[in-house]
Amino acid sequence: MKLRRLSIEGNEVNIEVIKKEKGLRTLIYFEPEIALDDLCKAFSNLRIIDLGLSDSNLSSLPNSLCDLMHLRYLDTSYSKLRNIPNSVGNLRNLVYFCCSNCKELSTVPQSINNLRELRCLSFQNTKVEAIPMEINNLEKLSHLFGFVPYKNSLEGFSSLDGLESLSKLIELLLEGLERVSDRNIAERANLRSKNLLLELNLQYTSLSSVEQLSQTDEKKKSTEDVLNELCPPHSLKRVLINGYFGRCLPNWLNLGAALPNLRDIDILECACFEVLPMLGQLPNLHRLKIRGAFSVERVGEEFMQGDTKSRDPIVHTISGSARPAFPKLNYLSFEEMPNWKEWQWNKGQPAMPKLKELFIIDCPQLRSLPEGLLLYATSLEFLQIIGADKLITVENIPSIKDIRVLRNPNLARISNLPGISNILINHCPNLKAVMNPKALQTMRLSDYEMKLLPDYLTTTMSRKLIIRCDEELLLKIANQVESGSEWDKFKHISKVKIGTEDESLHATYQKTPFSFTTNVNANRVHLPEDTDFATKRCQRLRTAQEKPVVGVP
């Protein structure tokens, strides 16, 4: 049998033995002690070489590798590659070339122009700051990642206009977009004509929110102009914008008719814009994530709009029937918005009828959930709220099945959630009322600072309760078996599990038949093994009643 695929790690392979395998097609090279140069000379018919994740000291590709005329796949990702030799241009049949996360790689040779069969090329997360102008000859490229546009096209390097001839792009990731200040260069990229483009990732150099806000007005304006010219085609399904410091997001995001197939939007770490884009009428938007919108203080009617000429949040279809805003949105996440205070969505603004998951994370100024969410998000099943310091109540959402509230110091009330089946409460010290229905299956309560269990446990109808607390509270509970203020708060629940953070100390209670086991005792030491208090309880009852008792509730 001929050897076709070989994975090498360490010095486990005797190269003299395998040199006879002239038909070898695939080489996977992990932490080897055998020189890559020797391997490439031995196996001239290689089609695939994977150097990814290699911990070798390989800093450059050997010339022998660049002489492999049949090579189609070359992956050097996460390696210590510093240099790509000019001879890489000999790999005329190369289809896939990935150098992503090669942290020391800084230059790309002009000979890359010769790789006319390339479909996928990646310099993502490298030190590459300029790509030869000749990249525009790679007209078969369908996936291009880590394209860093030069500030202009006059010094032999490619700017955004170098993308003009790449008409077969399906995925495009641009890095360091703030380098380009001329909107005409961006216009010549002609993204809107690339009718196969499905995913567009627009990355700016990572800056803190303070650094973004301190950019000059001129720089912010040029950044806005460039992004406005990068209007994608109708085919686009996913867009990500990260680190943009313009004062408003691109106009093309507001046009539902221009992006009828857009399903997925991420707007991340964009500190300067104050108003969310009018995304409500994107007809096929399924997922929206907004994180790090530092300057947004209010989310209002404009968020529901999709037509700048109309202030009516409902757009009428051709047949005349009303269509709500965000008609297909099922996932919405707001994260790390420190100045967001108000979400205005009033009665009379139907929207988000298919929303299933809502995340509000680290939005400390938000005071309340909007009325419209309670009225119109009738499919909402999962709600997670973390770090909403000023939020006081969560209530009146009948469709919710799973709610998780974490680090909300002023949350006082959770009520009127008739469909709830699971609830997680983590570090909400002022929560006084949890009104839960018969549908509740599991409640999880976690707080390592609480000294007593919350009183709302006495009215919970959960079938199962899981508590995470500190050792002191667990000891108090373990010492109150069957009676005592803490025990009385949960003894009506069918099953209870209590433990410390690492679960090294724990206790388990079952109502019927009665059982209580724990591995702690009054001296705060581990018992040799879990002690079952059910047997002791039955023995006491036998003595008192002079007859056997089984399964006393």
Residue 473 belongs to some domain of the structure:
yes
Please give the pLDDT value at position 532. 54
Half-sphere exposure of 381 (CA within 13 A, CB side): 6
Residue 472 belongs to some domain of the structure:
yes
Residue 508 belongs to some domain of the structure:
yes
Residue 543 belongs to some domain of the structure:
yes
Q: How many domains does the chain have?
A: 1
Residue 545 belongs to some domain of the structure:
yes
Give residue 20's pLDDT band: very low, low, confident or very high (50, 70, 90).
low
What backbone phi and psi angles, to 5 degrees, belong to 302?
-60, -25
**What integer is the mean pLDDT of 70-75?**
96
Please give the pLDDT value at position 456. 94
Report residue 439 CA to chain centroid gap: 31
The owner of tokens 């090279």 is 29
**What integer is the mean pLDDT of 382-393?**
98
Number of other CB atoms surrounding residue 80 within 10 Å = 17
Give residue 11's pLDDT band: very low, low, confident or very high (50, 70, 90).
low
Query: Mean pLDDT, the chain, as a whole number?
Result: 87
Find all residues with CB under 8 Å of 99, minimum gap 6, and list them: 76, 77, 81, 84, 105, 122, 123, 126
Residue 451 belongs to some domain of the structure:
yes
Per-residue model confidence as pLDDT tens digits over 99-149: 999 999 999 999 999 999 999 999 999 999 999 988 999 999 999 999 999
Which of 383, 392, 386 is closest to 421 using CA atoms?
A: 383
Q: Does the pLDDT at position 434 exceed 60?
A: yes
Burial class of residue 406, CB neighbours in 10 A (0-12, 13-18, 19+): middle
Name the residue range of residue 533's domain.
443-553
Give residue 303's pLDDT band: very low, low, confident or very high (50, 70, 90).
confident
Q: What single DSSP character describes residue 170?
A: S
Give residue 479's pLDDT band: very low, low, confident or very high (50, 70, 90).
confident
CA distances from 364 to 369, 372, 391, 405 (A): 13, 21, 8, 13
Give residue 322's pLDDT band: very low, low, confident or very high (50, 70, 90).
low
Report residue 270 CA to chain centroid gap: 16
- Among the residue ranges 141-155, 459-473, 501-515, the one predicted with the least confidence is 141-155
- Among the residue ranges 218-222, 329-333, 460-464, 541-545, the one predicted with the least confidence is 541-545
CA distances from 131 to 75, 110, 142, 147, 273 (A): 19, 8, 17, 7, 31
Residue 453 belongs to some domain of the structure:
yes
Tell whether omega for the bond before 149 is within 30 degrees of 0, i.e. cis. no
- Among the residue ranges 8-17, 172-181, 460-469, the one predicted with the least confidence is 8-17
Q: Does the pLDDT at position 31 exceed 70?
A: no
Residue 460 belongs to some domain of the structure:
yes
Report the distance separating Cα 33 and Cα 49, nearest Å. Answer: 16
Q: Does the pLDDT at position 321 exceed 80?
A: no
Report the distance separating Cα 473 and Cα 500, nearest Å. Answer: 9
Q: Does the pLDDT at position 336 exceed 50?
A: yes
